[in-house]
Amino acid sequence: MSADLKIATWNVNSVRTRIGNVLKCLAEEKPDVVCLQEIKCQTEQFPYLEFEDMGYNCAVLGQKSYNGVAILSKFAIEETLPGLPGDASDEQARYLECVIAANKGPVRVASIYLPNGNPKTTEKFDYKLRWMQRLREHAKSLLKFEEPLILAGDYNVIAKDGHCWDPAVWVDDALMADETRAEFAALHWLGLDNAWQIKDGRDHQYTFWDYQRGAWNKDHGIHIDHILMSPQASDRLLDVKIARETRAEERPSDHVPVIASFDL
DNA sequence: ATGCCACCTTCAAGGTGA
């Protein structure tokens, strides 16, 4: 089988600050589709020209200062849904969905920046759980299409103890709360597969290392960036990898890309 | 219990992240 659709997800922690790192990665990996999170700029401030010069179409849902998600695609972008349904009052730019015209037919792709939710005693945690419930409802409706669907992004969930270097450090954290894990598991029971779990599944393969406390040098990371898929995509999954080398660059993002290849 | 680092806005220092 040939890899006809290579898709990457990356929380870049400011696309303008990170533009050099991102362009370098795209030149090396040549993904067809890229889901970006935490672009931290308004839509009109997005560096469209740099990506268009590399052959990407851009769908962007920006926000001043915080959050912000985007999808880059070498294929035509046929329709877009900016924002997660279920709460018209939610103004945080954390969800962007589009349909891309891949080689063998349409593929629905979403770039997801799930709320952090800390501290757990505040309304931020309630917002996180409500957001996850909305994602579950929306995913349920999308799965009814029985088409290739890829939900990629920063889920801000430590799904199991082996996804962090020391569970004791995270025991009171919103990323590891029982309610958070239950909502993430519910996505799986809906019928969404996790690309990493299917093709690799090793523990202690992290996608985020804090800037503080020398976390990178000590490999004190967490695995919170994921590519979830419908069965119609899962059946065509070829391989997945974590591009951890990007964390060793000058002025890196605190997250690294997760990259999957599909026969789609 | 807090800051650590690095981002944001906009030039000083507080908000945010995980």
pLDDT for residue A1:
52
Closest CA to A37 of A65, A81, A6, A71: A71
Phi-psi region of A14 (alpha: psi -120 to 50; beta: other; left: phi over 0): left
Instruction: Say how far A130 CA is from B17 C1', in Å.
Output: 19
Mean pLDDT of the A197-223 span: 95
Say how far apart CA A243 and CA A98 lie, in whole Å: 24
Both structure tokens of A78: 């046929």
Residue A51: CB less than 7 A from any atom in strand B: no
Q: Which nucleotide is nearest to A212 (CA to C1')?
A: B5
Confidence bin at A2 (pLDDT 50/70/90): low
Q: Which nucleotide is nearest to A221 (CA to C1')?
A: B18
A 68-97, residues with C-beta < 7 Å of strand B: none
Average pLDDT, chain A: 95
Work out the burial of residue A241: count CB atoms within 10 Å of its CB; fewer than 13 is exposed, 13-18 middle, 19 or more buried: middle
pLDDT for residue A222:
95
Residue A156: CB less than 7 A from any atom in strand B: yes
Note the pLDDT tens digit of each residue in A130-166: 999 999 999 999 999 999 999 999 999 999 999 999 9
pLDDT for residue A58:
97
Kindly state the percentage of chain A with pLDDT values over 70.
99
Say how far apart CA A245 and CA A252 lie, in whole Å: 10
Integer-rounded Cα Rg, in Å, for chain A is: 17
pLDDT for residue A210:
94
Question: Could you give the number of structural domains in chain A?
Answer: 1
Unique residue bearing structure tokens 């952090």: A116
Strand B nucleotides, any atom under 7 Å to a protein CB: 4-9, 15-18
Confidence bin at A263 (pLDDT 50/70/90): very high
Domain containing A139 equals 5-262
CB A92 within 8 A of CB A63: yes
**pLDDT at residue A88 tops 70:** yes
Instruction: Say how far A156 CA is from B18 C1', in Å.
Output: 8
Residue A211: CB less than 7 A from any atom in strand B: yes
Q: Which nucleotide is nearest to A174 (CA to C1')?
A: B18
Q: In this structure, what CATH number is given to the domain that contains residue A147?
A: 3.60.10.10
Instruction: Say how far A175 CA is from B17 C1', in Å.
Output: 12
Residue A40: CB less than 7 A from any atom in strand B: yes
pLDDT for residue A68:
95
Give the DSSP H/E element, type plus range, for residue A80.
strand A77-82
DSSP string, A109-164: EEEEE-----STTSHHHHHHHHHHHHHHHHHHHHHTT-S-EEEEEE-----SGGGB
Mean pLDDT of the A50-75 span: 96
Report the nearest residue to nucleotide B6, CA vs C1': A211
Residue A193: CB less than 7 A from any atom in strand B: no
Residue A39: CB less than 7 A from any atom in strand B: no
pTM over cut 0.95: yes
